[in-house]
């Protein structure tokens, strides 16, 4: 071959290489742009604490994205819809519920999802006494707290049997299903202390590709303090009316932001596709709605309850009282709690801190629930701002004022306590500051101390070393979802917490008669199938709560979010802004 011919071949070969390289680069760029154009970004204030669904008890968590149960709740209509199960049927006596699973369900790793996974999830995890899961409390039935029997009928059908009528039965079986093939060994194998390995399985240090899911998304990446990345699950069962697989969005990214201020700045700069709208930023965002090409959605009162609560636990650990006995006597005096409730200026709180974007809360049940009670219609007690009534209650209970107007108990001890909440939440920090000021008007000194979320969780759930806290609990349409709050043995019975599994025992813990009565009413409410009678049972429970004040409720703010207009098919609900994430898409820009 001549040199000229060789050079021609070399030029041709180089051209082919360049074409291939350029084509490859173009394809890669196209893929990157394709993913970016189908990516939704929003924020969370702290990292998830676990990737193990059964062991989770707090938010934020990944499980609404990554797991589904047999049924789901439509947050637009409140109706129950099929999810992993295509249908269900009750027995004539209402004591059995049979589900039929969809055909060809799969896990995110491509393995079949079958009735065996349902049986494993319930019998080996949720109903297993060695697994400390909050879900077991929700599944308890009746006075004795019996649990359902879960029986495999065939490869697609599973039957649940309950010992007595249980009104929330259907909704409560919406809890997520877990993969037997990935987790079974962690249940049967134990560590050096005899605990199931499951208790240390799928922590946040687990590689994302090891987490097996059945929801619309699966975990792609997690960088602590920075972001959580989800990618669409190619094996999720849903398709649209044209047979196109759902979800449509390729990726969802949660940016971890240090505060709500940071979240607000990132949304305004275009870094986030949605943000929660708070009272302090509503006016500014409303003015920017058109220029920023977003819409503010208002769903009405949030499905949660914000309150302060005193530690009523009279018990001790290792001979040391959980609460200073002097302060414990104050907290357990009904007149003291009622006086505090009267002294908190909630109307001013609503107008100044919430900018009028909310309602005064006088009920322990989500306002949009058909079981929620009101002072006007149901005679539930409301605590209107009244300093004179607050002072009269304190004096009637033996408290007294010194020459400087400071409140003392009958033994001359100055009334002073510490109020804690999670730091970084501007609204709660403003509320805490107002409560400190309000209670000073009746001579009570409040040391307001916002702490980190991790410290707050440790104090409320483990050490129980706290005097008064301010938090919120998420609710829903079904009151029985709060049974573990009101059952004296429930895992979220925070105002008089019993030890959780694995914790040191508490000596001398007492359960008040009214406290036990609320727990009994929640059991009775779950047993009653007549809706009118059922509502009256929960109304009675709410009357007791408002009379005894284990929680002093504050404000139900409106559930609002600003969402970019490029996000299509938003069906905003106070129960979940992106509850229908599987059918969301992004408009082309």
Q: Summarize pLDDT for 510-535 with one digit per residue, the tens.
A: 999 999 999 999 999 988 888 899 99
pLDDT of residue 588: 76
pLDDT of residue 453: 85
Q: Contact 557/357 with Cβ under 8 angstroms?
A: yes
73 phi and psi angles, rounded to 5 deg:
-105, 125
pLDDT of residue 21: 36
Could you give the C-alpha distances from 482 to 139, 327, 366, 477, 518, in angstroms and in order? 12, 28, 10, 10, 11
Assigned token pair, 47: 């990292």
In the beta sheet, which residues pair with residue 507?
316
Could you give the C-alpha distances from 137 to 144, 496, 513, in angstroms and in order? 12, 16, 21
Q: Contact 216/581 with Cβ under 8 angstroms?
A: yes
For each of the domains in the chain, give its residue range(s) and CATH number, in order of start.
40-50+201-298+564-586 (3.40.190.10), 53-185 (3.90.76.10), 304-558 (3.10.105.10)
pLDDT of residue 140: 86
Q: Contact 387/442 with Cβ under 8 angstroms?
A: yes
Enter the pTM of the model: 0.76
Q: Which of 346, 330, 367, 433 is nearest to 575 (CA)?
A: 367
Assigned token pair, 173: 């079986």
Q: Which of 140-144, 250-254, 381-385 has the lowest mean pLDDT?
A: 140-144
Per the prediction, the chain carries an average pLDDT of 90
Q: Summarize pLDDT for 191-220 with one digit per residue, the tens.
A: 998 999 999 999 999 999 999 999 999 999
**pLDDT over 60 (residue 27):** no
pLDDT confidence of 558, banded at 50, 70, 90? very high
Q: Summarize pLDDT for 313-362 with one digit per residue, the tens.
A: 999 999 999 999 999 999 999 999 999 999 999 999 999 999 999 999 99
- Residue keyed to tokens 């129960």: 575
**pLDDT over 70 (residue 573):** yes
């Amino acid at each position: 071959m001549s040199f000229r011919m060789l050079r021609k071949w070399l030029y041709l070969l180089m051209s082919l290489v360049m074409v291939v390289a350029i084509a490859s680069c173009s394809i890669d760029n196209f893929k990157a742009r394709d993913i970016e154009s189908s990516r939704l970004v929003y924020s969370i204030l702290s990292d998830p604490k676990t990737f193990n669904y059964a062991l989770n008890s707090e938010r934020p968590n990944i499980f609404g994205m990554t797991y589904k149960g047999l049924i789901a709740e439509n947050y637009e209509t409140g109706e129950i819809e099929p999810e992993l199960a295509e249908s269900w049927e009750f027995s004539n006596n209402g004591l059995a519920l049979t589900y039929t699973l969809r055909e060809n369900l799969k896990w995110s790793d491509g393995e079949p999802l079958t009735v065996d996974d349902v049986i494993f999830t319930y019998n080996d995890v949720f109903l297993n006494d060695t697994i400390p899961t909050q879900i077991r409390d929700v599944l308890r039935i009746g006075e004795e707290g019996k649990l359902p029997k879960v029986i495999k009928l065939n490869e697609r059908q599973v039957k649940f049997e309950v010992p007595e009528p249980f009104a929330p039965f259907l909704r409560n079986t919406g809890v997520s299903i877990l993969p037997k093939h990935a987790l079974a060994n962690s249940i049967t194998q134990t560590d050096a202390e005899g605990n199931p390995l499951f208790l240390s399985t799928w922590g946040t240090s687990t590689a994302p590709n090891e987490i097996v899911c059945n929801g619309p998304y699966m975990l792609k990446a997690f960088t602590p303090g920075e972001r959580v990345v989800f990618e669409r699950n190619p094996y999720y069962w849903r398709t649209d009316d044209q047979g196109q697989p759902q979800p449509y969005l390729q990726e969802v990214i949660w940016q971890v932001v240090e505060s709500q201020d940071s979240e607000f700045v990132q949304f305004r700069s275009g870094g986030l596709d949605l943000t929660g709208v708070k009272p302090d930023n509503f006016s500014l965002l409303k003015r920017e709605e058109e220029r920023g090409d977003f819409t503010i959605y208002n769903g009405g009162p949030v499905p949660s309850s914000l309150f302060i609560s005193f530690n009523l636990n009279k018990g001790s650990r290792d001979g040391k009282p959980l609460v200073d006995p002097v302060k414990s006597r104050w907290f357990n005096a009904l007149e003291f709690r009622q006086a505090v409730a009267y002294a908190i200026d909630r109307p001013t709180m609503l107008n100044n801190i919430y900018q009028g974007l909310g309602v005064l809360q006088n009920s322990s049940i989500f306002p949009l629930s058909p079981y929620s009670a009101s002072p006007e219609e149901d005679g539930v007690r409301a605590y209107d701002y009244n300093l004179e009534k607050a002072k009269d209650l304190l004096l009637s209970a033996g408290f007294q004022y010194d020459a400087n107007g400071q409140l003392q108990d009958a033994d001359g001890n100055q009334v002073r306590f510490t109020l804690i909440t999670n730091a970084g939440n501007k609204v709660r920090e403003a509320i805490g500051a107002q409560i400190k000021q309000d209670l000073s008007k009746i001579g009570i000194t409040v040391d307001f101390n916002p702490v980190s979320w991790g410290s707050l969780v440790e104090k409320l759930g483990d050490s129980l070393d706290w005097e008064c806290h301010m938090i919120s609990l998420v609710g829903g349409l079904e009151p029985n979802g709060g049974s573990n709050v009101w059952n004296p043995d429930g895992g979220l019975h925070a105002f008089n917490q019993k030890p959780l599994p694995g914790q040191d025992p508490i000596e001398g813990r007492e359960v008040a008669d009214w406290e036990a009565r609320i727990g009994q009413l929640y059991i009775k409410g779950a047993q009653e199938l007549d809706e009118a009678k059922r509502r009256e049972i929960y109304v009675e429970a709410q009357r007791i709560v408002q009379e005894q004040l284990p929680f002093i409720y504050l404000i139900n703010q409106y559930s609002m979010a600003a969402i970019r207009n490029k996000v299509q098919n938003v069906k905003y609900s106070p129960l979940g802004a992106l509850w229908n994430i599987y059918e969301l898409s992004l408009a082309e820009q």
